[in-house]
Chains A and B, each alone.
Chain A
Amino acid sequence: MLNHLPILQVILPLLAAPTCLLLKEARLAWAFTTACCMATLAISVMLLLQVIDSGVIVYSLGGWQAPIGIEYRIDSLNAFVMVLVSGLSSAVILAARESVAKEVGADKQVLFYIAYLLCFAGLLGICATGDAFNVFVFLEISSLSAYTLIALGSDRRALWAAYQYLIMGTIGATFILIGIGMIYMMTGTLNMHDLAERLPEAAHTKTVFTAFTFIIIGTCLKLALFPLHLWLPNAYAYSPSIVSAFMAATATKVAVYVLIRFVFSVFGVDFSIDHMPLQQILLVLSLIGIVWVSIVAIYQTNLKKLLAYSSVAQIGYIILGFSVGTVLGLQASLIHLFNHALMKGALFLAIAGVVYRIGGCEFSQLSGIGKKMPWTMAAVVVGGLSLIGVPLTTGFVSKWYLVSALIEAGWWPAVAVVMLGSLLAVIYVWKVVEVAYFGSPEDGYEGAYEVKEAPLSILIPTWMLAASNIYFGIDTRFTSTIGHLASQTLFGAGS
């Protein structure tokens, strides 16, 4: 049993999805999905402990040895990302029942949970697999179910957002497919470990160069790096609140993982960073992204959309750390990957509570909401402080590592941009605080007087995430140790 863990955590949600269809009632489907997510979380934590204890776990599917068979290869990097994905999915699904009951039509609720499980299975599959083509297949499983989830939003703009995401997402995934095809053409293998060994021989060819470009652009589309982020704001803003929380906390993070995996483990540090101008391109794009998208966020009048733009800016920080190209930079990037998932998870879940009570999150409706829903808005404030990077929150830890990595590399102008980005974050977080605490309920939503605190079933998971924002801001042992271990392994593998 124990040696089947790598496959079990992908198989479990994948099989649970059709089983869900048999449960006709939404409440049962929710309970089943929650149990499944929790079980997966337990498995991924066990895997992480096992990896820390005894190193890389290799699992051959169906007993066929790689490179003929497909293998799952769990190292400290993907074990870490899987704990993140399953942990946040569990927290989000805990809050889902009442929010989904309110925002999704009664006949579609069971289907919602099925799509959720499929998306979850796809994301875990991307992390677990050691086969390049498998990455594409799981990417499409998670994307197709994500389009469905977004389209379930009650606003008609959700449909348009889902369509746009479908077009952009499919182009991105097909780019990755082209890239994988080309490296297969040059090496005759799809196994990532084998690819890493055989690619250096072909590294000087134009085919590998082109393949690299296709894969990088494809993943950057998926992870919404500026200026390829245009699908993201609408997709987050109009999908059901639970889906916004789920996507913001997991989907883009897994895309970042794919980027790291391909750049470091498949193409190798020598090729990606020394031969290609990847560092410079990502550096410039992430810096422009941080500043420009933060400014756009300031001008938003819808809370969800504001946070969606802030997500794009935060992805800029993750990519910035990555583009430094040192162990410390990658560590900063991984730590922020984890911390940003916690921040956005807490923020979007709190918004799910707000939407549950007042039916929307336009600023005009939120006036004075801080007095009516003190606990929910307090969670928003904690998340917001974390976004800014105030000490004692996780955001501070991320920024600390990021800035030290930049200083170590001597990139002073980039340090200035990070500081500028934080100042812009202060502005947009303050905008939310101003409306929520200093507006009077009378100018707001008509029924504002009857607005109560969000139901406990949403509030508790929200505060679990908000509290972990503070916990991981004070006790950084977990994130920094794993981040350090993973980035060292990746650089070790390359040299």
Chain B
Amino acid sequence: MAYLAQYNYWVVVVLMMIGLYVVVSHGNLVKKLMGLSIFQTSVFILYISMGKVDGGTAPILEEGISVYSNPLPHVLILTAIVVGVATMALGLALVVRIKEAYGSIEEGDIQEKDKQSC
């Protein structure tokens, strides 16, 4: 049972592996980006989990409450989310340009066309 007590970390690991697997195994460029996004999201959950204090509330000063969750990881992860959004936007923009230039968003097709043009 002790293994299940911190189930959120299991979720993190499972998501991380799903994300990485999708990035590696899929040839479709958009699916790769989705995998990357899942991978990054798992790290967000990792950070948020570590900020949790047992019995703690949201870190807002209020009378009668003395236990708060650690707000620092939340703030850090806000930054990381912004970075994730920017990466995703840039990645998708690149995919649009690749589609225009190659006429395909499949990794195999693109490599094939590069070989032909050489």
Contacts and interface: CB of A to CB of B under 8 A. Distances in A.
Contact of A159 (B32, B39, B97): B97
A278 to B, nearest CB: 23
B73 to A, nearest CB: 7
A248 interface: no
A136 B29 CA distance: 25
A157 interface: yes
A89 B72 CA distance: 35
B87 A140 contact: yes
Interface in A134-177: 136-137, 140, 144, 147-148, 151, 156-157, 159-160, 162-163, 166-167, 170-171, 174, 177
B44 to A, nearest CB: 10
Contacts of B76: 133, 190
User: SS class of chain B's interface: helix, strand, loop or mixed?
Assistant: helix
A392 interface: no
B61 interface: no
Contacts of B94: 147, 151, 159, 162-163, 166
User: SS class of chain A's interface: helix, strand, loop or mixed?
Assistant: helix
A140 B83 contact: yes
Contacts of B40: 170, 174
Nearest to B35: A167
Contacts of A156: 98, 101-102
Contact of B83 (A137, A148, A160): A137
A138 B86 CA distance: 13
Interface string B61-87: 000000000000100100110010011
A490 B87 CA distance: 34
Contact of B50 (A160, A171, A174, A184): A184
Contacts of B87: 140, 144, 166, 170
B90 A181 contact: no
Interface string B1-43: 0000000000000000000100100000100100010011001
Contacts of B47: 181
B29 to A, nearest CB: 7
Contacts of A184: 50, 73
Interface residues of B, number: 28
Nearest to B86: A144
A178 to B, nearest CB: 6
A137 B79 contact: yes
Contact of B98 (A140, A144, A159, A174): A159
Contacts of B90: 144, 147-148, 166
A159 B46 contact: no
B23 A167 contact: yes
Contacts of A140: 83, 86-87
A160 B114 contact: yes
A409 interface: no
A170 B114 contact: no
Contacts of B110: 160
A276 interface: no
A206 to B, nearest CB: 13
A284 interface: no
B83 A171 contact: no
Contacts of B39: 171, 174
A181 B86 contact: no
B114 A167 contact: no
19 contacts: A133-B76, A137-B79, A137-B83, A140-B87, A144-B86, A156-B98, A156-B101, A159-B97, A159-B98, A159-B101, A160-B98, A162-B94, A163-B95, A163-B98, A166-B91, A166-B94, A167-B36, A170-B40, A171-B36
Interface of A: 133, 136-137, 140, 144, 147-148, 151, 156-157, 159-160, 162-163, 166-167, 170-171, 174, 177-178, 181, 184-185, 190
Interface of B: 20, 23, 29, 32, 36, 39-40, 43, 46-47, 50, 73, 76, 79-80, 83, 86-87, 90-91, 94-95, 97-98, 101-102, 110, 114
Given A140-B83, A151-B97, A163-B94, 6 more contacts: A144-B86, A160-B110, A166-B94, A170-B87, A174-B43, A178-B43
